[in-house]
Amino acid sequence: MPERILALSRAVSSVATEKVGEIQNATKATRILALNAQIEAARAGQHGAGFAVVAQEVKSISAQIGQLTDQLTAKLNEQTAELDRLGQRLISSVRGRRLTDLALNMIEIIDRNLYERSCDVRWWATDSAVVDCLGRPDAMQIDFANKRLGVILNAYTVYLDIWVADAHGQVIANGRPDRYPHAIGSSVAQEDWFRQAMATQSGDEFVVADISRNDILNNQLVAVYATAVRENAEVNGAPIGVLGIFFDWESQSQTVVDNVRLEADEKGRTRCLLVDRHHKIIAASDRNGILSDSFALETGNEPNGNYMDSQNRTIGFALTPGYETYKGLGWYGVIVQEKAGS
């Protein structure tokens, strides 16, 4: 709608300029006729005196019309230029607010998704198969835990794998040993998510790692959620190991950034991004720069907003608002849009 208003104002300006030009041409022609009439009146001498007065009056009126059209042109140019500036500002404001709303919607979808992950990891850490394989880590219990984790993965397709690590950080069970055979026996003792999970104070707590690629999981992008497995599955029991769940970040986040509701003419000139708290790109609709580039986001210490950058692009952004008990990780949804026709 703002673009339509601007287009109409420019069309009106064009028509007005054209018609003023036609008036100026007619005025010039009138002046020439008046001049010719004065010349003929002068030749006629005394008999042309009355005609000379009329010719002079026509010339005077023509000059007044010329002045009026010059004033009209100046005023018209001034006001249409102001109207154009206001139209451009209106378009920028409306587009900016819309991009901010789209960015917020994008990060809210991620928040709701990751909230469920935080619930899953705390719930599954109390599963008897998980608790028992750490409490009595014999072959039978570990095999049962592998099968139980496999059942969970078949129902929750957003995960690549689930690992159970003992208190020393050695992985003793996983849900997809056939697909990821190197998981069991590997050490996660130096991983932040393992150490932080072992340090949690109760079963109500969980930890989450930054988005990263995992070598054992075929170098795929993952979001790792973890919590301590506790004695007897009690909320305040002593930690006996860690449950780590590996969210399939690449495919899930790509779906979110690829399905932002853009108009057909916007898609080719719009980039949808998710960036972490350091503004590192963790998902991108064009699939470029993931984990390798950062986006120079100018938030002005605001949780959401929009602005025009030095490249004349409109940027809309929104900080994670969190969802339910999930507070978010300081991530942003970002929409970058080139001007139409650029």
What is the Cα–Cα distance from 316 to 296, expressed in whole angstroms? 13
Query: Mind listing the pLDDT tens digit for each residue in 226-275?
Result: 999 999 999 999 999 999 999 999 999 999 999 999 988 889 999 999 99
**CATH code given to domain 125-252:** 3.30.450.20
What is the Cα–Cα distance from 86 to 314, expressed in whole angstroms? 17
Residue 244 forms beta bridges with which residues? 163, 226
> What's the pLDDT at 259?
94
> Percentage of residues in the chain with pLDDT exceeding 70?
75
> What's the pLDDT at 4?
59
333 touches 106 (CB < 8 A): yes
Structure token digits, residue 300: 């002005």
Of 231, 214, 227, 281, the residue nearest 254 (C-alpha): 281
What is the Cα–Cα distance from 6 to 12, expressed in whole angstroms? 10
Q: Name the residue type at position 301.
A: N
Does pLDDT of 183 surpass 90? yes
User: What does the buried/exposed string (b/e) look like for 261-293 if buried means 16 or more CB atoms within 10 Å of the residue's CB?
Assistant: ebeeebeeebbbbbbbeebbbbbbbeeebbeee
Alpha-helical runs (H) found in the chain? 2-44, 49-124, 128-135, 139-155, 192-198, 249-258
Question: What is the chain's mean pLDDT, rounded?
Answer: 86
What is the Cα–Cα distance from 185 to 163, expressed in whole angstroms? 11
> What's the pLDDT at 323?
81
Does pLDDT of 91 surpass 80? no
247 touches 110 (CB < 8 A): no
What is the Cα–Cα distance from 266 to 120, expressed in whole angstroms? 37
Query: Mind listing the pLDDT tens digit for each residue in 50-63?
Result: 665 655 666 666 66
DSSP string, 270-311: EEEEEE-TT-BEEEETT--STTT-B-----TT-SEEEEE-TT
> What's the pLDDT at 327?
81
Whole-angstrom CA distances from 282 to 162, 170, 270, 292 are 22, 28, 17, 9
**CATH code given to domain 2-91:** 1.10.287.950
Give the mean pLDDT of 298-319. 93
The domain segmentation of the chain, as residue ranges, is: 2-91, 125-252
What is the Cα–Cα distance from 20 to 90, expressed in whole angstroms? 28
